[in-house]
Amino acid sequence: MKKTFSLLVIIGLILSAQAQHINGNYPGRTISFPDIPGYVTLKTDLHMHTVLSDGEVWPSIRVQEAVRDGLDAISITDHIEYQPHQNDIPHPDRNRSYKIASYSAKDEPLLIINGAEVTRNMPPGHANAIFLEDVNKLNVEDSVKAFKEAKKQGAFVFWNHPNWEAQYKDGVAKLDDLHKKLIRKDMIHGIEVVNDVTYSDEALQIALDYDLTIMGTSDIHGLIDWQYDVPSGGHRPITLVFAKEKSKESLREALFEKRTVVFYNNMLIGREDYLLPLIDRCLNPQEAKYLTTWAGETSVVRILIQNKSDASFILKSKSEFKFHDVGEIVVLDPNSITELKVKTIDVLEEFQLKFEVLTAVTAPNTHPEIELTFEVTKE
């Protein structure tokens, strides 16, 4: 009887795991963010590599990792020119990784975008071109001609790791005259402010100064789980794209319109136009009720704040009210409800709390401010 029971338990666990996979649900792993008004929030990683350039895995592994992370879209951007594995895995068709990934994802709710990395010395350095029709046509000697071909195909192009120490020894992103020309000619549309485990204030300022799309990517070569310690709660950098619907066409349109926020190391980076609506949807003021003691009613109110995202928010109080149980710093853990006590002095029917969001950035050394409104519940 015990053996039968154990077998049933094992079968149940297998079926449960299969059901979670079918539903795209991997508890504790899937990256989650709410939609914002007028748009769906698409979770994307648009810079990654496989053994078909200098990566360490087959394209189908990139698909499986993305499904487990709950991503909506990926682009495998293998290097066009740099082919260190070509003696072992020759592939004259530079669209091959896209084709393999597309077949692997045919039964998954994951958009696969055809892309590649134009790999040149500085300037112009490395750049990703995505939404390509044929990568092979970018395999030309002249780097400017590669950018022109990407534009001809209607590609979205962004500058990769502009702070890479191998090309800028000081780690400071800076524009060369060629970059400025490519931007002016509408051949560079975005810039990575986050690449792998690096963040660049200078790249963010370039994005703001030159009206470029703010991007963040993993640039993964090995395994996502190992690089970002996913089993212990880590996550890859991603670009949240605010699209009209979940489709390749809508994703492309949103990228060109600069509707993005980067999620990196529990930090959100983006323009206020999209970052503030995202934070507003992530943080939900819930119950507010004044405390009653044995001596009667008080003017200390107990509040609950729900965080409906996978980002951990660190807030600095900018309110006239003081807290009864913490100092000026408030931490809202991912996917949780936090209880706080506020001293309002007078008993109010409604009040607001103002915060500076320290884990969000709209410009170098600039954090957005938010206001949460609480309506008091009476007994």
Ramachandran bin of 348, using left for φ above 0, alpha for ψ from -120 to 50, beta for the remaining angles: beta
SS3 319: coil
Tens-level pLDDT at each residue, the chain (379 residues): 444 434 443 334 443 344 344 334 566 689 999 999 999 999 999 999 999 999 999 999 999 999 999 999 999 999 999 888 989 998 899 999 999 999 999 999 999 999 999 999 999 999 999 999 999 999 999 999 999 999 999 999 999 999 989 889 999 999 999 999 999 999 999 999 999 999 999 999 999 999 999 999 999 999 999 999 999 889 999 999 999 999 999 999 999 999 999 999 999 999 999 999 999 999 999 999 999 988 888 999 999 999 999 999 999 999 999 999 999 999 999 999 999 999 999 999 999 999 999 999 999 999 999 999 999 987 6
197 and 226 Cβ atoms separated by less than 8 Å: no
Among positive and negative, which fits the CA dihedral 326, 328, 334, 338?
Answer: positive
Q: Which of 361, 311, 314, 312 is nearest to 204 (CA)?
A: 361
- At a CB cut-off of 8 Å and minimum separation 6, what does 106 contact? none
- The 10 Å Cβ neighbour count of residue 135 is 26
**Candidates 2.40.50.100, 3.20.20.140, 1.20.120.530, 3.40.50.2000; correct CATH number of 31-265?**
3.20.20.140
φ and ψ at 122, to 5 degrees? -85, 130
Q: Name the burial class of residue 242, with classes exposed (0-12), middle (13-18) and buried (19+) by CB atoms within 10 angstroms of its CB.
A: buried
d(CA 218, CA 228): 9
The total number of residues written for the chain in this structure: 379
State both tokens at 311: 């980002």
Coarse DSSP helix, strand, coil percentages of the chain, rounded to the nearest 5 percent? 25, 30, 40
Would you call the peptide bond into 27 cis, given omega within 30 degrees of 0 as the criterion? no
Token look-up 């991997």 returns 26
- The 10 Å Cβ neighbour count of residue 10 is 10
| Domain definitions of the chain by residue range | 1-28, 31-265, 281-375
* CATH number of this structure's domain 281-375: 2.60.40
- The 10 Å Cβ neighbour count of residue 345 is 11
Same fold, 31-265 and 281-375: no
Query: Residue 220 has what DSSP assignment?
Result: B
Query: Residue 376 has what DSSP assignment?
Result: P
